[in-house]
Each structure stands twice: as C-alpha cells, then as structure tokens.
C-alpha cells in the first residue's frame, strides 16, 4: 500500500516513464508540477548511458519541462563511480556516447585501445563490428568487461532500440567472460540515488516501466514500487515474474490524482 502524499522522495526512470524518444508522455507535466508543489525530493535515475545530466536537462527543457541538472543520475555516472573506487586512475576502452565518455574522463580514467584495464560498454552509435571485434580481443587478452546496464532494449518512437545488455552479449558469448553491470538493478546505483535524495528506502517510491530493472531494484532496496504501463511492460508480461510491484498505474500522471489516497 502506498500513500504518495506521505512519501518524501521519488526515484523515476525516464525512457518509457517520462518520454518515448523525443515525445513526452501524457501526465508527465502534471506529475513534475506536483513534485514541485508538494516539495518532494526527486531524482531521474536512468539506465541510458548516452546522455550527460546537462543533456537530459536540456532534452526535458525542449519538451517544456523545467528540471535542474542535479535531479539526474545515469548508469554512466554509476559506472564511472564504480571504476573510480575499484581502480583509481585505470585505463579503459569504451564504446558509448558523450554521457559515458565524459563520466569516465571526469572520474580520472584514461582511454586506451592497446592494453586497457577495462572494456566498458554503453549504448552508442559508435558500436560497430570493428569496435565489437576490438573489444572482444581486448577482453580475451585480460581486460575486465563492464556494462553500463543490463537493459536489452529501450522504447523509442515507433518501436524499440537495442540497449546495453544486448550490445554486451556478443562479447560475452565470444569470450566466455561475464560482464559486471553497474546500472539498475545494481544496489550500488540505488543506494547512491537514495543518498542523493537524503531518503531512507521506506520513505521513497521507485517508479519505472521495467520489471527486470526498476521494480526489482526498488524491491531489493526495500522501497515501494510503481510500475507504469507507458513503457515496455504490459499486464500480461507482469504475470510472468515471481515478484510484483506495489502498485500498477497507466502512467505517472495518475500519481498526483491519487495523492492522499492509500492504494
């Protein structure tokens, strides 16, 4: 049971929850307005490693949503933080976009396509057979394999797009090595999100569209969970899982309407 009015913090996914591609979803503006009006702590916690927080802020701005940069945390930042703690100053061979590359640089990593300590994979247009072959052989020669997140697909306008989990899979199959993934549902990313909000897990709500990342991440961190049907999950696919969200809603626009009710 959830009483949204009594919750202190909200951790929300973005793809499939706030937008599809460049299309804002129904009720999102009302939801963000409610968060501000009720002075809720909130964080957009996305597994998409391609964007920097500033790029995400500007993307929402183009959709008419005013959200400051500190409200965003990505799997790219989680990956960079993990590597910084594991091996400060290490070298990496990275396949990804600005969000991942900037996070790695800012955390003190150097790029190395000869003998890196790690091969790091995120979503990106630079992914090709050539970069895949390079990454595979570097892992075969001893580099450790890191994936920004386990998502195998993400919703876009008109369909889905392969995501990091799908892009890492050929390297795992070719090398026999398993990647370590830093994004949701990794509890390290969830703990960081709760710390950024200044919330304990029982004070927070996790909102997402994926059972295998968002909902299990919330469940395993001890927070209440809201699955929205505006992304990849449907009422039929939900039934295939051994665990369930606390609440199922059509979209985040229902949260302000239900605030004050125990559901």
Ramachandran region, residue 119 (left: φ > 0; alpha: ψ -120 to 50; beta: rest): beta
Integer-rounded Cα Rg, in Å, for the chain is 18
Of 13, 209, 212, 224, which residue is the catalytic one? 13
Q: Hey, what are 38's tokens?
A: 């009720």
Whether 130 is a known active-site residue: answer no
Whether 15 is a known active-site residue: answer yes
Report the C-alpha gap between 184 and 74 in whole angstroms. Answer: 10
Q: Cα 241 to the chain's mean position, in Å?
A: 20
Is residue 176 within 8 Å of 211, Cβ to Cβ?
A: no
Of 15, 117, 209, 224, which residue is the catalytic one? 15
Report the C-alpha gap between 207 and 255 in whole angstroms. Answer: 10
Which residues are annotated as catalytic?
13, 15
């Amino acid at each position: 049971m959830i009483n949204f009015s009594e919750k202190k913090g909200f951790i929300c996914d973005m793809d499939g929850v706030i937008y599809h591609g460049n299309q804002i979803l129904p009720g999102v503006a009302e939801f963000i307005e409610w968060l501000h009006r009720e002075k809720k702590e909130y964080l957009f916690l996305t597994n998409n490693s391609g964007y920097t927080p500033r790029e995400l802020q500007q993307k929402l701005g183009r959709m008419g949503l005013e959200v400051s940069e500190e409200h965003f945390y990505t799997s790219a930042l989680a990956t960079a933080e993990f590597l910084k703690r594991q091996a400060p100053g290490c070298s990496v061979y990275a396949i990804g976009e600005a969000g991942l590359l900037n996070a790695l640089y800012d955390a003190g990593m150097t790029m190395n396509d000869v003998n890196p300590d790690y091969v790091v994979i995120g979503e990106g247009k630079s992914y090709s057979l050539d970069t895949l072959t390079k990454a595979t052989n570097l892992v075969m020669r001893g580099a450790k394999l890191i994936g920004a997140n386990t998502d195998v697909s993400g919703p876009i306008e008109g369909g889905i797009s392969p995501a990091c989990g799908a892009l890492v899979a050929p390297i795992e199959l070719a090398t026999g090595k398993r990647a370590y993934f830093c994004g949701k549902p990794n509890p390290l990313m969830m703990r960081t999100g709760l710390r950024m909000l200044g919330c304990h897990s029982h004070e927070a709500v996790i909102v997402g569209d994926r059972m295998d990342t968002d909902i299990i991440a919330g469940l395993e961190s001890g927070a209440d969970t809201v699955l929205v049907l505006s992304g990849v999950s449907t009422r039929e696919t939900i039934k295939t899982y051994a665990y369930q969200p606390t609440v199922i809603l059509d979209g985040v626009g229902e949260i302000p309407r239900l605030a004050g009710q125990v559901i």
